[in-house]
Amino acid sequence: MDLPLETDRTVLRPWQPEDVPAMAAINADPDVMRWIGGGVPLDHQATAERVEAYRRHWAEHGFGLYALTLRPTGEFAGFVGLAVPYFLPEILPAVEIGWRLARRHWGRGLATEAARAVRDHAFGPLGLDRLVSVHQVGNVASERVMGKLGMTHERDTVDPANGRPLRVYAMERPTGPSY
């Protein structure tokens, strides 16, 4: 595992127990959670369970969601990383790139910056050939990040858990000497 990944403004690192309260605050924000799953905020216990699931995903797959902190302060800002999108079986096998940031960090390009580092790591050292990203229709901010990563619209579908409309973006590993 090549951790941490660093960008000019961020550090992507393994999850630590002290990240749970900060992530719980992010997950409790209705604006943040509006486009996630059924749109319902998560409490502290549900967040702790998710963070533990993120850690298990790393152990099982050798990649996962990184805790995102800001340089140079170390402030916890959310997550960016990779996951197997089990929630959407129709696109499997696949690896999804995704992000969730605290609202105060929206609109600053942090998700794009960190996601580019994760994308490059996925196509470089991890050797993945393809990435997908899924957003609920209407989540224009996430759709913009997907476009900035070089992803293109692949299909529209619905979330089997709640019937909300989804849009799937994808990209293949670029060819060239940097990969």
pLDDT tens-digit map of 130-145: 999 999 999 999 999 9
Question: What pLDDT was estimated at residue 124?
Answer: 95
Per-residue pLDDT band for 175 (boundaries 50, 70, 90) equals confident
When the pLDDT of each residue in the chain is averaged and rounded to a whole number, the result is 95
Q: What is the dihedral of CA 70, 35, 38, 172, to 10 degrees?
A: -80
Q: With a cut of 70, say whether residue 179 has pLDDT above it.
A: no
Tell me how far apart the alpha carbons of residues 23 and 90 are, in angstroms, rounded to a whole number: 29
Per-residue pLDDT band for 1 (boundaries 50, 70, 90) equals very low
- Mean pLDDT in residue range 96-108: 97
Which fold does the domain 5-172 belong to in CATH? Answer: Aminopeptidase (3.40.630)
Q: With a cut of 90, say whether residue 87 has pLDDT above it.
A: yes
Residue with tokens 């900035």: 148
Per-residue pLDDT band for 101 (boundaries 50, 70, 90) equals very high
Question: What pLDDT was estimated at residue 134?
Answer: 98
Tell me how far apart the alpha carbons of residues 53 and 176 are, in angstroms, rounded to a whole number: 35
Within the chain, what is the greatest distance between any pair of CA atoms? 45
Tell me how far apart the alpha carbons of residues 109 and 5 are, in angstroms, rounded to a whole number: 17
